[in-house]
Amino acid sequence: MFKKVLIAEDMEDINKGVFSLLTELGVTQIDQVQYCDDAYLKIKRADLDSVPFDLVISDLSFIVDHRSQTYPSGQDLVAKLKTDFPNLKVIVYSVEDRLQAVRTLFNQHHIDAYVCKSRSGLKNLTQAISEIAQGNKFLSPEVSNAFSTENELEIDDYDISLLDHLSKGLSQDEISALYRKENISPASLSSIEKRLNKLRIQFNAKNAIHLVAIVKDLGLI
Amino acid sequence: MFKKVLIAEDMEDINKGVFSLLTELGVTQIDQVQYCDDAYLKIKRADLDSVPFDLVISDLSFIVDHRSQTYPSGQDLVAKLKTDFPNLKVIVYSVEDRLQAVRTLFNQHHIDAYVCKSRSGLKNLTQAISEIAQGNKFLSPEVSNAFSTENELEIDDYDISLLDHLSKGLSQDEISALYRKENISPASLSSIEKRLNKLRIQFNAKNAIHLVAIVKDLGLI
DNA sequence: TGAAACCTTACGGAAAACCGTAATACTCTT
DNA sequence: AAGAGTATTACGGTTTTCCGTAAGGTTTCA
């Protein structure tokens, strides 16, 4: 089990909750920070002093205030941590449930676990810690389909065009008619529905409005 | 009638079309530019040389290319022009038909006319020019309801909350239930529908998806 | 060539959004 | 306190979206 753990989380109550959990799990050395920069400095310092951390549990979003930060978000922090300290285990603990975001964290930043803050967040966090201790990765059930082989995560020009037309206010019927006129295939309403359904699953969107909002945030359209 | 006119428009064919129109209207001194920065420089130069322009006809969107621009968009350009040269008449000629955008141009940047590029775009442009020559303002029929007294253009916190929940994927029914629980009024599905309908009209949105896309672009949520 | 896998289209039912109308409740003025 | 005006809610009907199923078509590969 882990001996020395750092919690990076700006919300004090959540920070405390995670602290309690770690204590219950028998972790004795627990440090807590509310800024990403502090997290990096503490870990760097501990490493230089040859008393490195075993594990970091970090949030993604930190509210910005007067203190200017080198690492404004959890993404920036974990990216830097995993480059500088490859042996350090990293758990991201966040409300974020967009699959694309989760995928990026695993694929590009090589985090060890992703836990969604939710009703059963702490339970999942416990599980994540024990999995990681055994050298495994962990993925919260809420976003478990982020890596399902079913939905290949490719988004092609057709998808973009679809989302773009949707965001311009065209109904699925109108898009179908447009595609027929422009000889774009598939053009049937049914195919368009099917494709949008795939995209909704892929982006964890509840409905078309949510989907468009997500892909706009991602800058896809 | 105007004697010296500048056309700022990056699409060559449209630029030419407007040029022809102006020629037909008897304007002899016509300058054309394809970059906002060039427009500003030409007008500044002409002013310094005491041979100022009477009128600028500008597009809103200019495709970005290798040349970095001080004024990347038509909005930036007209804002600057109207501050530096209050006497200069400005017509915005664009495909943009979002009422909020049009309102901003009139209210904050004090443009003299807004013409939508459409089937009857050049016809409206002619009319706009003649109106402005008489000291009037002009508004393309497509966006004529931008200032209709009916819909007061205030967007309050309730509206924002509504749009935000929508963009998060909540159905109108779910929002209604949420508002009831949180004692936010009005909470009924009917009122929510009504409010969203008002917002759709206000932002010229075809449906809820379109509406959310627009307000996201505006940075309202 | 034949079979499996996949893509496209069609269809039908349930849920949600859209739209007009009307009843009820609240606010403001006189 | 009465009436006008507005806000909120209710309701019904149409359209659109959502979702499962299935038929017809194409591609792939043995």
Per-residue pLDDT tens for B134-176? 999 999 877 876 765 444 457 888 998 999 999 999 999 999 9
B187 has a pLDDT exceeding 80: yes
**What are the E-state strand segments in A103-199?**
113-116, 138-139
Backbone angles phi, psi at B188, to 5 degrees: -70, 150
Cβ–Cβ < 8 Å for B59, B8: yes
Q: Which of B171, B207, B213 sits opposite A216 (nearest CB)?
A: B213
Which of A96, A173, A207, A209 is the best mutation test for B, with the most CBs of B within 10 A? A209
pLDDT of residue A151: 40
As a residue count, chain B comes to: 221
Is A212 in contact with B208 (Cβ distance < 8 A)?
A: no
Residue B218, pLDDT score? 79
CA distance A44 to chain B (A): 37
Nucleotides of D under 7 A from a protein CB: 7-11, 16-22
Number of inter-chain CB pairs under 8 A, A vs B: 45
Does any CB of chain B come closer than 8 Å to the CB of residue A218?
Answer: no
Question: Confidence class of residue B179 from pLDDT cuts 50, 70 and 90?
Answer: very high
B191 touches strand C (CB under 7 A): no
- Give yes or no for B173 touching A (CB within 8 A): no
Coil vs helix vs strand at A95? coil
Sheet holding B89-94, edge to edge: B29-33, B4-8, B55-58, B89-94, B113-116, B138-139
Is strand C less than 7 A from the beta carbon of B163?
A: no
First-to-final CA distance of chain B? 44
How much is the pLDDT for A186?
94
Longest dimension (CA), chain A: 69
Q: Are B163 and B208 in contact (CB under 8 A)?
A: no
Taking an 8 Å cut-off on Cβ atoms, the answer to whether B169 and A216 are in contact is no
Q: pLDDT tens per residue, chain A (221 residues)?
A: 899 999 998 887 777 889 999 999 999 999 999 999 999 999 999 999 999 999 999 999 887 777 778 888 899 999 999 999 999 999 999 988 777 788 888 888 999 999 988 777 888 999 999 999 999 999 987 787 677 544 445 788 899 899 999 999 999 999 999 999 999 989 999 999 999 999 998 888 999 999 999 998 877 88
* Chain A residues 138-197 within 7 Å (CB) of strand C: 185-191, 193-194
